[in-house]
Chain A
Amino acid sequence: MTASADHPLYGHRHLLGIAGLNYPDITTLLDRADEAVDISRQREKKKAVLRGLTQINLFFEASTRTQASFELAGKRLGADVMNMSVASSSVKKGETLIDTAMTLNAMHPDILVIRHGAAGAAALLARKVGCAVINAGDGAHEHPTQALLDALTIRRHKRRLDGLTVAICGDILHSRVARSNIILLNTMGARVRAVGPSTLMPAGIAEMGTEHHVRLEDGIAGADVVMMLRLQRERMAGGFVPSVREYFRHYGLDAAKLAHAQPDCLVMHPGPMNRGVEIASEIADGPQSVIEEQVEMGVAVRMAVMEALLDPRRNLTVAS
């Protein structure tokens, strides 16, 4: 990995969402992440760029995968990483988000990674603390590092993002992953389709820069990339969709439906998957699937984001 000085200075203090990032911002982060991939593939995986800095992972929602990914990213860059999950925090004792933030802020962290069930929680935190904040998912709002790792995965396979047709399929209504991806892919010049039953589409989906398709076969026809979204269990029984069996029959990705996409179409999933609900095992484990690779790219993207936010050229000191 080359020095930070080889990359343009990244102009944002936090990463709260993809909204607000422009084409060069995203390109910079992806270029940095490309280099981070190489580090993770070496035997010696550790750098010292964040040595002496403190990273706190503040997870109000359980997420083993994302938390582990952020932890590993920080450790590979030499930071001291502390995990706070809701089970062991004082939130359960009635402390508010802001109280928690102020308490943590007094410990002088350099970077806070937050996952919270409420949309806007990361932005609220960012206003109250003196360090860089990374949104690791806030409600149904944004999950920017997921969109970046998806983009990195696509770019490494397709060599580009602009001009690609990407179908995002399933429960877009409740998905922060979909929102971040829609914004990122539009910014980078891809054509985005939102595919799924209308009951799982947010209002104004067309104005978000997508083309809505009701039938999965139509939505993925000719697509270069298909992203499947997780359908939460509680949405399955009669509220938003009638049943798992009907959902899988009409919206589950299987070989017959995937045949409508480009022959070299990538199949992606942010995980964790519901096999037999939104995706068939034969596809999840098949040759077009890059789902495992997405996990690898996750660590690289998070390293890149942290390094960019804590670029020493900015000479940031912790505000107090």
Chain B
Amino acid sequence: MTPATGTTVYENARIIDPSRGIDETGTLIVADGVIAACGAGARNQGVPDGATRIDCTGLIIVPGLVDSRVHIGEPGGEHRETIASACEAAAAGGVTSIVMMPDTSPVIDDVALVEFVLRTARETGVVRVYPAAAITIGLGGAEMTEMGNLRDAGAVMFTEGRKTIANAAVMRRAMTYARDFGAVIDHCTTDADLAGAGVMNEGLFASLLGLPGIPREAELLPLDRDLRLARLTGGAYHAAKISCAPAADAIARAKAGGLDVTAGVSINHLTLNENDIGEYRTFFKLSPPLRHEDDRQAIITALNDGTVDTICSDHDPHDVDTKRLPFAEAEDGAVGLETMLSAALRLHHSGDVPLPRLIEAMSTTPARRLGLDAGTLRPGAPADFAVIDVDEPFVLDAAQLCSLSKNTAFDEARLTGRAVRTVVAGHTVFAA
């Protein structure tokens, strides 16, 4: 990302910078794509000659969101999403950095593919794209990828994308090997046998709908295994998207035991529950499945107490062909880059989660976990930030989404608050 030239001053904004514990009215000064000053103190620095002044009265400036789990169709599924279209969607949602999942076709398991992603992003993308590489060759769950070489090439973490490694010995060696290279293993846990043919959360509601259920234990068994392996290996482990109360308990215990473990949750599981499926609405068919309201409440509590570290969009574009099917036959997943912020603001407006905590979990914490130079408004950092109007009400129209796929779980949802401007390296890449 080539930094912008010149100086821009954003005045009279409420500035929330969780990386420094700041929540105050102040000024943000950007010089040549880098944050020159930020906060209440910056108001007294004066405006340099020739600087552009932007009044942000009534708006909030936050570090650009860092979305740690984004599926993209390029290479191999460009009709669903390209790197360029995903970047447009991100910019529209206040997201300035995305971590791209490796489950493309071909799989990102080789240095050449990491370089392809970085090059394509540089040439076509308006936000920063960080490739995650596969843990095993071809996501086959057997042979480790060249983690050392991939890391050197720019892979920021290792993950199997939607898949779970079934073989504990493979997982153990991967965690051990990744540790040597200072890399985080990100894992989404589903026991394929226990989940079986299940398509939604197991329970009364699934039974009433006549749909096969997925018990929470399908998520918990491999998660518990991974946490034990994290202890055995000392490796850095990120539970990609936990969805239920006992998973949060397991993470809390692991952290109390001093393990290098963090946990994420998708915005969907924070703001929706199984009842949203209603009359077989396939855009709510996700993996892990939307759970009971009690689980959602437990995850919110875990987010507030720090057990859950990060919020991701789990952006997963699918075209209509694969979503407009009978519920059990439809693909899992929903797009989320453009709606993550607005959906998260529901928790702010409801009083469930303080705004700074939401921003921290969507920006500062994921950046810190992966060692990215992002998620902060500290002077000297790249000028990646979002200007938010938290009180603007709107009804989401899926047709207006930038994503090439429109499979949102928030179509026609009433939302309050959105990004009105997104800035990357000093460039305004989105303005409402």
Q: Is B143 an interface residue (CB 8 A)?
A: yes
- Are A240 and B173 in contact (CB-based, < 8 A)? yes
- Are A199 and B177 in contact (CB-based, < 8 A)? yes
Chain A 164-206: CB-based contact to B (< 8 A → 1; otherwise 0): 0000000000000000000000000000000001110000000
- Are A198 and B146 in contact (CB-based, < 8 A)? no
Chain B residue numbers with a CB within 8 Å of A117 are none
Interface residues on B, range: 10 to 19
- Expressed in whole angstroms, the Cα–Cα distance for A238 and B137 within the complex equals 8
Known: A197-B177, A199-B176, A199-B177. A239 touches B143 (CB 8 A): yes
- Are A239 and B146 in contact (CB-based, < 8 A)? no
Q: Is A242 an interface residue (CB 8 A)?
A: yes
- Are A238 and B144 in contact (CB-based, < 8 A)? yes
Chain B residue numbers with a CB within 8 Å of A245 are 146, 149
Known: A238-B137, A249-B149. A199 touches B143 (CB 8 A): no
Chain A residue numbers with a CB within 8 Å of B146 are 242-243, 245-246
Known: A246-B148, A250-B148. A237 touches B143 (CB 8 A): yes
Q: Is A214 an interface residue (CB 8 A)?
A: yes
Chain A residue numbers with a CB within 8 Å of B233 are 198
21 contacts between A and B (CB under 8 A): A197-B180, A198-B176, A198-B177, A198-B180, A198-B233, A199-B176, A214-B180, A238-B136, A238-B144, A241-B144, A241-B177, A242-B145, A242-B146, A242-B147, A242-B148, A245-B146, A246-B146, A246-B147, A246-B148, A246-B149, A250-B148
Interface of B is mostly: helix
Chain A residue numbers with a CB within 8 Å of B1 are none
Chain A residue numbers with a CB within 8 Å of B136 are 238
Within 8 A of A (CB), among B145-162: 145-149
- Expressed in whole angstroms, the Cα–Cα distance for A243 and B142 within the complex equals 13
Within 8 A of A (CB), among B111-146: 136-137, 142-146
User: What 9 A-B pairs come out closest when comparing CB atoms?
Assistant: A238-B143, A246-B146, A242-B146, A214-B180, A198-B176, A242-B144, A250-B148, A238-B144, A199-B177
- Expressed in whole angstroms, the Cα–Cα distance for A249 and B145 within the complex equals 14
What is the count of residue pairs linking A and B with beta-carbon distances less than 8 angstroms?
41
Chain A residue numbers with a CB within 8 Å of B137 are 238
Question: In the complex, what residue of chain B is closest to A198 when comparing beta carbons?
Answer: B176
Known: A238-B136, A238-B137. A198 touches B142 (CB 8 A): no
Counting chain B CB atoms within 10 Å of each CB, the highest count among A197, A237, A240 belongs to A197
- Expressed in whole angstroms, the Cα–Cα distance for A2 and B173 within the complex equals 53
A: number of interface residues (CB 8 Å): 15
- Are A242 and B143 in contact (CB-based, < 8 A)? yes
Known: A237-B143, A239-B143, A242-B143. A249 touches B148 (CB 8 A): yes
Chain A residue numbers with a CB within 8 Å of B145 are 242
- Expressed in whole angstroms, the Cα–Cα distance for A97 and B146 within the complex equals 41
- Write the nearest CB–CB distance from B29 to chain A, whole angstroms: 41
- Write the nearest CB–CB distance from A142 to chain B, whole angstroms: 25
- Write the nearest CB–CB distance from A84 to chain B, whole angstroms: 37
Given contacts A238-B142, A239-B144, A242-B146, 12 further A-B contacts (CB under 8 A): A197-B176, A198-B177, A198-B179, A198-B180, A237-B143, A238-B143, A241-B177, A242-B144, A243-B146, A249-B148, A249-B149, A250-B148
Question: In the complex, what residue of chain B is closest to A214 when comparing beta carbons?
Answer: B180
- Expressed in whole angstroms, the Cα–Cα distance for A237 and B144 within the complex equals 8
- Write the nearest CB–CB distance from B22 to chain A, whole angstroms: 37
Chain B residue numbers with a CB within 8 Å of A214 are 180
Question: In the complex, what residue of chain A is closest to B147 when comparing beta carbons?
Answer: A242
Within 8 A of A (CB), among B203-249: 233
- Expressed in whole angstroms, the Cα–Cα distance for A246 and B178 within the complex equals 13
- Expressed in whole angstroms, the Cα–Cα distance for A246 and B177 within the complex equals 12
- Expressed in whole angstroms, the Cα–Cα distance for A249 and B149 within the complex equals 8
- Expressed in whole angstroms, the Cα–Cα distance for A198 and B180 within the complex equals 7
- Write the nearest CB–CB distance from A235 to chain B, whole angstroms: 11
Chain B residue numbers with a CB within 8 Å of A240 are 173
Chain A residue numbers with a CB within 8 Å of B177 are 197-199, 241-242
Question: In the complex, what residue of chain A is closest to B145 when comparing beta carbons?
Answer: A242
Chain A residue numbers with a CB within 8 Å of B143 are 237-239, 242
- Write the nearest CB–CB distance from A250 to chain B, whole angstroms: 5
Chain B 298-319: CB-based contact to A (< 8 A → 1; otherwise 0): 0000000000000000000000
- Expressed in whole angstroms, the Cα–Cα distance for A199 and B179 within the complex equals 10
Chain A 221-241: CB-based contact to B (< 8 A → 1; otherwise 0): 000000000000000011111
- Write the nearest CB–CB distance from A34 to chain B, whole angstroms: 40
- Are A199 and B173 in contact (CB-based, < 8 A)? yes
- Write the nearest CB–CB distance from B390 to chain A, whole angstroms: 46
Chain B 160-179: CB-based contact to A (< 8 A → 1; otherwise 0): 00000000000001001101
- Write the nearest CB–CB distance from B375 to chain A, whole angstroms: 28
Chain B residue numbers with a CB within 8 Å of A249 are 148-149
Question: In the complex, what residue of chain B is closest to A238 when comparing beta carbons?
Answer: B143
- Write the nearest CB–CB distance from B91 to chain A, whole angstroms: 35
- Write the nearest CB–CB distance from B111 to chain A, whole angstroms: 10
- Expressed in whole angstroms, the Cα–Cα distance for A237 and B173 within the complex equals 13
Chain B residue numbers with a CB within 8 Å of A242 are 143-148, 177
- Expressed in whole angstroms, the Cα–Cα distance for A241 and B149 within the complex equals 12
- Write the nearest CB–CB distance from A6 to chain B, whole angstroms: 50
Chain B residue numbers with a CB within 8 Å of A197 are 176-177, 180
Within 8 A of A (CB), among B273-327: none
Within 8 A of B (CB), among A237-264: 237-243, 245-246, 249-250
Chain A residue numbers with a CB within 8 Å of B180 are 197-198, 214
- Write the nearest CB–CB distance from B198 to chain A, whole angstroms: 31
- Expressed in whole angstroms, the Cα–Cα distance for A240 and B179 within the complex equals 14
Counting chain A CB atoms within 10 Å of each CB, the highest count among B146, B149, B233 belongs to B146
Question: In the complex, what residue of chain A is closest to B173 when comparing beta carbons?
Answer: A199
- Expressed in whole angstroms, the Cα–Cα distance for A220 and B136 within the complex equals 30
- Write the nearest CB–CB distance from B255 to chain A, whole angstroms: 22
Chain A 262-277: CB-based contact to B (< 8 A → 1; otherwise 0): 0000000000000000
- Expressed in whole angstroms, the Cα–Cα distance for A282 and B378 within the complex equals 49
Chain A residue numbers with a CB within 8 Å of B179 are 198
